[in-house]
Structure 1
Amino acid sequence: MKKTITLPSDYSKSSFFNDGKELFCNSPQFQMEFTLFGTFLMKSNNRQYNVNIFLHEFIMKIIEEKGERHINLENVCVKKALHSKTQQLGLRISKNGQFIEFFGEIIELWKQIKKFVIQTDFSLKYKLGQKLGERFSSSVFKALKIINGQKVAVKIIEKSLVQRNNASERQQLINELTVLRQINHDNLLKLHETFESDEKIYLVLDLLEGGHLKNSIFRFRYSEQETIILMQTLFKSLNYMHEKNIYHQDIRFDNILLKDQQDLTSACIINFGKSEIIQQSLVSTQNLNFYDQNSLIQFIRKKDILSLCIVIYSIFSKKLYQETQILDELLMKNYESMSDIEYLDLNPPLLQFFEIFFTSKGKTQMDTIKCSDILNLDIFNLPLIRRPSKFQGIPQQINHNFKRASRFAPKYSEKEQQIISNFQKILKLPTISDSSESKISQNHSQSPQTENFISYRLLQDEKASSIKPRYSVLKKCLSPNI
């Protein structure tokens, strides 16, 4: 008997993200560059016909015989579908009770749209692990992707708590999703997928295993150069956001995490719930509010920059400040709370950097400064040397030698190293075995401590008597009494 395959009931009407709008939307008001993803069989209103599908970020364009239609993919509900006759795999896209189905080569299409849509099969794709953190309405867990073992972080939001609260909680969640879907930068948190169940929302994110920046700063002793590299990394990521008209509005120590605890260049800015996206209007005679909007953008941009500068100053001064309080004072151009700058032992370009933001010398400059201007300051034009990351291997200027090294290895001159090298070429040691019956199966020991020790003894004996027979030295070094 042939097995009947049925689709689960549509959940788009009851979705947390349902805004009551129809599935198909109006054509974009401005010109977009769409990418063709191929020809698909589309099922809609009990009809089947071939269509061409194009994408521009989260806007899907469907071209059919009668013309073209558009779908805004943000927060639409998506499930896998199987064609009842051909058993071909496809996608079912639904919103507010309306749906269409596509069948064809959907893999590349799915990779592009999965960040924008809402899915329901979280438990089939991910396995939750250790809890990493908790807030009033959400918790963060470490998780594994079942299909490939990829480590991720999953933020789980309780829908009832968000809905019970005032509108700000819901708006922050929508804000965070909107921003995460627009950004793609190594030093900003990345969103992979979004899932929804009857009670919870799941955001699958990058796992930042290095923990909070604050913990590493006070645990490890970073040099001034390394901290300047951190400054440059964070200002580049902030500049990326500002160029996309995204303003974080909540930059502080708690919202900066590390991928690698010992690599400051892996710092990532997180938590975009309070972010604002402001598209700057075009200058025209009819736009009477242009200058007001321009002033607003300058203000919130300055707020982001000053917030980041307070974090950086805390790193150099080794003090934790009341970030919100100092930010308010700086925005009012009250610099008394930062009067200890002159007592820090800083190089001139770094001191000049802090004077721009925390003293009256930069009053005028601060009103219009951008991250791109900051990245051109003298402090970022100095030659910098990075500390190697445990994830990045050994720096290029060092010869690659991944053999395990001993911490007891002596240091030799070039002449001594040449003598040792000649000895090691002819030196062959037996492997160590617990069984007396086992024979020698290898010609060379893999223990660097043994090699270094014997090389050291050979070198010392060679110095003491250059005419001493080598076999006696080897016999002495290989004695069980060593």
Structure 2
Amino acid sequence: MKKTITLQSDYSKSSFFNDGKELFCNTPQFQTEFTLFGTFLMKSNNRQYTVTIFLHEFIMRIIEEKGERHINLENVCVKKALHPKTQQLGLRISKNGQFVEFFGEIIEMWKQIKKFVIQTDFSLKYKLGQKLSERFSSSVFKAFKIINGQKVAVKIIDKSLVQRNNASERHQLINELTILRQINHNNLLKLHETFESDDKIFIVSDLLEGGHLKNSIFRFRYSEQETVILMQTLFKSLNYMHERNIFHQDIRFDNILLRDQQDLTSACIINFGKSEIIQQNMVSSKNLNFYDQTSLIQFIRKKDILSLGIIIYSIFSKKLYQETQILDELLMKNYESMSDLEFLDLNPLLLQFFEIFFTLKGKTQMDSLKCSEILNFDVFKLATARRASKIQGIPQQFNHDFKRTSRFAPKCSIKEQQIISNFQYILKLPTISDSSDSKISQNHSQSPQTENFISSRLLSDEKASSIKPRYSVLKKCLSPNI
């Protein structure tokens, strides 16, 4: 009597991401270049046979004897599988109750597809840390990858709260995952993996430990040049999205975080729930013709650019504006909201930049302006241009930065010391105070000359007076008044 093999219950049928479609999909209509990933043993419908697999982003192409089939890997459920006879490790891919298993060299393939699929073993891979933020239906935690201790951020979403509300939250969640899977830029949030349990969804992404940009702007003093570099960084990331027809539509201070609190070039744009992907030749559900689609894309692009412009203007003016209100006024051609522009003491190139954004002078230009064109503005030359020195006769071979440095820095030649001292006398740099009132800690050079100097000084002073405690000698050696 044959044993009846009962398959274990398939989680993909009850998955939050189940859209009711079949596992195998139609051949893609667009032309794609697939990457060969090798030959695998495939098990499907109690049959097993050898197939060749190709991948293009989230589309899997399976070449078998009878022809070829395709699987859209986006939001399919994936589990590890062991072959019952050979004990070879494989992957079980399932959707809406249908499944297929692949056995072979799956490591490289797994690296390619893990960003697109839904896994179920979050607690086996990550350990949760402190809570970073909380909203109505979700919380963000710091977490650690168990295998190597890597720090990540995990957004945990309560499925019951999302499903209980209207369909917009569910749409925003799926939309955000779709967009995160398509972007790969240092100044945009990077998605790692997605997991699902019976009651929660886990979205693993980069941990941005620098906090909100808004906090750093008002905590630290940044130079005009540093802020221009921040402008350039943000417009480059926005240009990256727009080139891929992705429009954020919710750019504000709360959606910009820093990887490093004191590094403005580490700014990252997050929260893509309201973002849209709009293709020029896409057939719209609203039956828009080509002219209307072009106007729509120009309007949404302008909205993103103006939103970023308001943030940059707030940084220079040191004022927090009601971003949504001002954006609405600017989109309605009301330019009086930025009336204090003329009172800012800024570089003429910066003033010219803001005039294009917020005055009637740039009204026509703003309607069709792109990020790629903005990045060619003269204002971004300030990020790399050096300020012209008023001192004549500075030798080009000496590029000294006259700032307070350690007294134990490597010594220059006598000629160089004479030139530097003359420059310092002309510049009238303030002397370093050694009073007890000064709390400024100095950064001492770690060069070999420094270590040799301190070591020899300690030895000579201890030999001269063995009664002196060692810490007092060390304190003397590190004093700036030697």
For the criterion TM > 0.5, the same-fold answer is yes
Change in Cα spacing, 1:472 to 1:9, as seen in structure 2 (3 Å) is closer
What residue in structure 2 maps to residue 188 of structure 1?
188
- Equivalent position amino acid for 1:175 in 2: N
Give the Cα separation in 2 of the matches to 1:230 and 1:7: 55
Please say if residues 229 and 383 of structure 2, whose CA atoms lie closer than 8 Å, have aligned partners that are also in contact.
Answer: no
The CA RMSD measured in Å over matched residues stands at: 3.0
What residue in structure 2 maps to residue 414 of structure 1?
412
Query: Under a length normalisation based on structure 1, what TM-score does the superposition of the two structures give?
Result: 0.82
Change in Cα spacing, 1:253 to 1:66, as seen in structure 2 (3 Å) is same
Give the Cα separation in 2 of the matches to 1:155 and 1:382: 38
What residue in structure 2 maps to residue 369 of structure 1?
369
- The alpha carbon displacement at 1:474 in A equals 7.8
- Partner of 1:352, secondary structure, is helix
Please say if residues 408 and 449 of structure 1, whose CA atoms lie closer than 8 Å, have aligned partners that are also in contact.
Answer: no
What residue in structure 1 maps to residue 14 of structure 2?
14
What residue in structure 1 maps to residue 250 of structure 2?
250
Change in Cα spacing, 1:195 to 1:413, as seen in structure 2 (3 Å) is closer
C-alpha distance after superposition, 1:361-417 (max 9, x if no partner) = 10000000000000000011235289xxxxxxxxxx999xxxxxx987467973589
Give the Cα separation in 2 of the matches to 1:208 and 1:398: 35
Change in Cα spacing, 1:478 to 1:345, as seen in structure 2 (3 Å) is farther
What residue in structure 1 maps to residue 289 of structure 2?
289
- Partner of 1:84, secondary structure, is coil
Identical-pair percentage:
81
Please say if residues 242 and 301 of structure 1, whose CA atoms lie closer than 8 Å, have aligned partners that are also in contact.
Answer: yes
- The alpha carbon displacement at 1:353 in A equals 0.5
Q: Which runs of 5+ in 1 are unaligned?
A: 387-396, 400-405, 420-444, 458-470
Give the Cα separation in 1 of the matches to 2:136 and 2:379: 41
What residue in structure 1 maps to residue 421 of structure 2?
none
- The alpha carbon displacement at 1:96 in A equals 0.3
Change in Cα spacing, 1:227 to 1:52, as seen in structure 2 (3 Å) is same
- Equivalent position amino acid for 1:480 in 2: K
**Structural mapping, 1:306-345, within 5 Å:** 306-345=306-345
C-alpha distance after superposition, 1:224-279 (max 9, x if no partner) = 00000000000000000001110000000000000001110000000000001111
1:29 aligns with 2:17: no
1:48 aligns with 2:41: no
**Structural mapping, 1:372-391, within 5 Å:** 372-384=372-384
Give the Cα separation in 2 of the matches to 1:217 and 1:49: 60
**Structural mapping, 1:453-468, within 5 Å:** none
- Equivalent position amino acid for 1:276 in 2: E
Give the Cα separation in 2 of the matches to 1:7 and 1:205: 34
1:120 aligns with 2:93: no
**Structural mapping, 1:297-312, within 5 Å:** 297-312=297-312
What residue in structure 2 maps to residue 79 of structure 1?
79
What residue in structure 1 maps to residue 468 of structure 2?
480
What residue in structure 2 maps to residue 468 of structure 1?
none
- Partner of 1:194, secondary structure, is strand
Q: Which 4+ residue blocks in structure 1 deviate beyond 2 angstroms? A: 5-9, 381-386, 406-419, 445-455, 471-479
Give the Cα separation in 2 of the matches to 1:51 and 1:449: 64
What residue in structure 2 maps to residue 211 of structure 1?
211
- Partner of 1:147, secondary structure, is coil
Change in Cα spacing, 1:156 to 1:473, as seen in structure 2 (3 Å) is closer
- Partner of 2:22, secondary structure, is coil
Give the Cα separation in 2 of the matches to 1:238 and 1:118: 28
C-alpha distance after superposition, 1:310-365 (max 9, x if no partner) = 00010000000000000001111111110111111111111110000001010000
C-alpha distance after superposition, 1:54-87 (max 9, x if no partner) = 0111000000000000010000000000000000
- Partner of 1:250, secondary structure, is coil
Moved more, 445-454 or 173-182: 445-454
Aligned residues: 420
What residue in structure 2 maps to residue 432 of structure 1?
none
- Partner of 1:380, secondary structure, is helix
**Structural mapping, 1:428-439, within 5 Å:** none
Please say if residues 191 and 204 of structure 1, whose CA atoms lie closer than 8 Å, have aligned partners that are also in contact.
Answer: yes
Query: Under a length normalisation based on structure 2, what TM-score does the superposition of the two structures give?
Result: 0.82
- Partner of 2:201, secondary structure, is strand
What residue in structure 2 maps to residue 271 of structure 1?
271
Please say if residues 7 and 81 of structure 1, whose CA atoms lie closer than 8 Å, have aligned partners that are also in contact.
Answer: no
Give the Cα separation in 2 of the matches to 1:345 and 1:168: 44
